[in-house]
Structures are given as C-alpha cells and as structure tokens.
Amino acid sequence: MKLTGITILLFFYAVYLGKMLLQKRKGICTDQIAKGGKRDKIFYIELVLKVVTYTVVAVEIISIFLSIPRVPQPFIICGLILASLGDIIFLLAVVTMKDSWRAGIAEDDKTEMISNGIYKISRNPAFLGFDCVYIGLVLMFFNLPLLICSLFAMGMLHLQILQEEQYLIKEFGEEYVEYKRKVCRYFGRKFWSVEV
C-alpha cells in the first residue's frame, strides 16, 4: 500500500512540476502564488496556502512511510479510488488549461477563459483534484496530523477559489458570470437558473 500511496503522490506532482517546466520553456511563469507586489488579502491567503500545501506533502510522505495498517480495508479501497481519481482530474484540468494554467492569481498575465473539456463539469477541477488526493490519502493512511493538515489545506484552497472567482469576474465579466450560472464550483452542471 505504501508504494501505491507514493505512486499517487509522484504522479500528481510530476504533472504539476512537468507543466511548470513546459510553461517555463515558453517564458510563462506558472507559479504566481504570493508573488504579487501588493501585500493585500490575496497575497496573505496565497502565502498561507503555499506554506500549507508544502507542509501537507511532507505530512503525506511521513504518513505513508510510517503508516501502521489500522485502517479498515473498505476505507483503504475508497481512498485509493478517490486519490487515483484526483490524479486523473488534476491531469485533465492542467492539460485542458493549456498555457492559461497558473498557480495563483496572475493579474499581469493575460490568459484565456477555459470552459471546455473537464471545465464543462467543474469550474475548479485542479482544486477538486487536490481535494480528492488529500481525502483519498487520509482514508488510506489515516492519522490525526494528516487529517488536520489536509483539512486546513482544503480550506485554504477553497479561499483561493473564492479569490480567483472575484478576479475572473473582473477579468472576463459577463462571460464568466454566465459560466458560473451553468457549472458548479466543484462538480456538476446546473440545470436551474440561480444567481451566483
């Protein structure tokens, strides 16, 4: 099970780092997290997000290597499925975004609004991928520090989503507002008309 957990993490972060390297070759700075010149709410949320996402990786690795098989088999299987699904969702998100993918809010970069592919059923599939991997690994290698770090990271990712939504409304206007009316924040399409 340890090898499986490490493989899930390696795949996830190989996609993340691989995309960053590909974009760097094109002169695109992918990592925009906490790099803005302003020291505002966005900067500090992104700074905490960056610290917690690095911390959770360390806690995940420690949890995998020091795990004692005490989690019931059905939880392990559910966790394996969920974490693997997270890898796939994240890969699809990154590939679909092409060169518009950024980590953090890139106010100075001009990107396209992406609403095709996996973005037809999730406004934030990359974040959904992170969440699925976090929850899956908690189910597979449960311990209290892993649970706390994962929940905190998921909370910070949600705050980042809320900030990005405000930025996207400013950047793309009615096109993004209409997209929000049709597609759910995490997963699903809306078949009813609501104000968002």
Nearest to 92 by CA among 112, 73, 117: 117
Sort residue 173 into left (φ over 0), alpha (ψ -120 to 50) or beta: left
Nearest to 138 by CA among 195, 86, 191, 193: 86
Residues of the chain with pLDDT under 50: 194, 196
- Show me where the domains of the chain are located: 2-182
pLDDT at 108: 72
pLDDT at 192: 62
pLDDT at 196: 46
Separation between Cα atoms, residue 178 and residue 181, nearest integer Å: 5
CATH number of 2-182: 1.20.120.1630
Q: Phi, psi at residue 103, to the nearest 5°?
A: -100, 110
Length of the chain: 196
